[in-house]
Amino acid sequence: MQGLIFVTWEKYLSERFSGSVLREYRDKLGNALPTALLASRVYDDSVLLTGVAAASNITSVPVEILLREFGRYFITNGLTRHLCAYILTQVHSGRELLLAMHDAHQQMSRLPDGLTPPLFQYTTRNKNSNELTLIYDSPRKLCSVLIGAIEGAAERYGEQVHIFERTCMKRGNSVSRFEIRFSASSKEVLETREQSERHQAKQHFAQYILSLLPNNGGGGVTLAELQKTLALRGIQQERIRPALLLEALRHLHYAGLVATTANHAGDDLMHRRYWRAPTSDPPSPASL
Ligand code: HEM
C-alpha cells in the first residue's frame, strides 16, 4: 500500500494517543518498519495490518475502531489535504468526493507502483439526491476504514452522514453494500475567495506542468530539467522555484497523473525522474 497511508497512520497514532504509544508501537514492530516511512514509497500491506494489531494491543482499543477512526482521520488531516489537493479542490461536498473516488482511485492504479486502491461502484436515485449506494469489494476488506473515510468526507464539508451497511464481506457476502445519506449541516464550511483563487492558480500551474512532461517512452525528466524547460519558455524564476515545482509534481502524483522513480533502488530527490502516467488502461488480452 502507498506510503501516504502508513505515514498518516503514524500521524493518527501520535495525535490520538498521548504519551509513549508511538514509541511503544515502533519498539514492538522493530525491524518490520523502515526507520523513516516515506509517503512516496510503497510498503507491504502486512506492515499496516501487523501495525494495527500492535496498536490495538498497546492501547486496548479494538482493531475495527482504530481502523474507523483512522479512515476518518485520513480524509480530514492536513497532510492528505495538502498532498491530495489536486483531487480535493475539485469537489465541494461529501457525496461529490465519494463519487469522484472511483475515477481518482482508478487513476492511481495506473501508476507503475502497483497500487490497488478500491474501485467503488455506485447507484444513485438521481443526480441531485443526497443519497447513494456504494459497493465495496476490495480483497483487503477494510470496511471500517471505508466507513471512517465516508464520515471524514462529511466532516470535511461540514455535513452529517448516515451510513447503513446492507451487506458485508466480513459476514460472508460477496461485496459490502452501503446506503449513504448526506445532509447539509447548518455550519457551512466555505472557502474564502482568496483561498479559492489560490487553489485554482495552483491547479492551473499543475496542469501546465503536466502538459510539459514526457510520457513513459521519454524516460522522464528530473526537477532540474523541468526547471530548465520552464525557464526556456520565459517563465519568471520566482514562479519556478524547486519548492513550487515539487509541490505541483506531488499534487499530480497523488492524483495518479504523474509517475516517478521514487520506488526505484537508489532513488533520491536530485535524481528522481517524473513522467506523465497513462490515463486509460491498455486493452485486455481478451479484447485483442
Ligand atoms: C471519501 C473518500 C475516500 C474513500 C471512501 C476512500 C477509501 C479508501 C479505502 C477503504 C482504502 C483502503 C484500501 C482498500 O480498501 O483496498 C483506500 C486506499 C487508498 N486511498 Fe482512498 N478513499 C478516499 C479518498 C482518498 C483520497 C482523497 C486520496 C488521495 C490521494 C486517496 C488515496 C488512497 C490511496 C493512495 C490508497 C492506498 C491504495 C494502495 O496503496 O493500494 N483516497 N481508500
Neighbours of 132 (CB within 10 A): 18
106 lines ligand 1 (CB under 6 A): no
Query: Which residue from 9, 74, 180 has its CB within 8 A of the most atoms of ligand 1, so it is best to mutate?
Result: 74
Residue 85: pLDDT above 70?
A: yes
pTM: 0.94
Query: Which residue from 37, 105, 113, 178 has its CB within 8 A of the most atoms of ligand 1, so it is best to mutate?
Result: 105
256 lines ligand 1 (CB under 6 A): no
Q: Which residue has the higher pLDDT, 127 or 13?
A: 13
Residue 288: pLDDT above 70?
A: no
Average pLDDT, the chain: 92
Q: What's the CA-to-centroid distance between 118 and ligand 1, angstroms?
A: 7
Nearest CA to ligand 1 atom 14: 118
* pLDDT band, residue 187 (cuts 50/70/90): low
Query: Which residue from 41, 101, 257 has its CB within 8 A of the most atoms of ligand 1, so it is best to mutate?
Result: 101
In whole angstroms, what is the distance from residue 224 CA to residue 239 CA?
Answer: 14
118 lines ligand 1 (CB under 6 A): yes
Largest Cα separation within the chain, whole Å, is: 60
254 lines ligand 1 (CB under 6 A): yes
In whole angstroms, what is the distance from residue 208 CA to residue 224 CA?
Answer: 17
Mean pLDDT value across residues 10-27? 92
The grid cell for 140 is 483487503
108 lines ligand 1 (CB under 6 A): yes
169 lines ligand 1 (CB under 6 A): no
pLDDT of residue 12: 97
- pLDDT, tens digit, for every residue of 144-186? 999 999 999 999 999 999 999 999 998 899 999 999 999 987 6
- pLDDT, tens digit, for every residue of 37-83? 899 899 999 999 999 999 999 999 999 999 999 999 999 999 999 99
Say how many Å lie between the first and final Cα of the chain, rounded. 31
- pLDDT, tens digit, for every residue of 205-237? 999 999 999 997 678 999 999 999 999 999 999
pLDDT of residue 158: 93
pLDDT of residue 159: 95
In whole angstroms, what is the distance from residue 172 CA to residue 78 CA?
Answer: 36
In whole angstroms, what is the distance from residue 81 CA to residue 83 CA?
Answer: 6
pLDDT of residue 133: 96
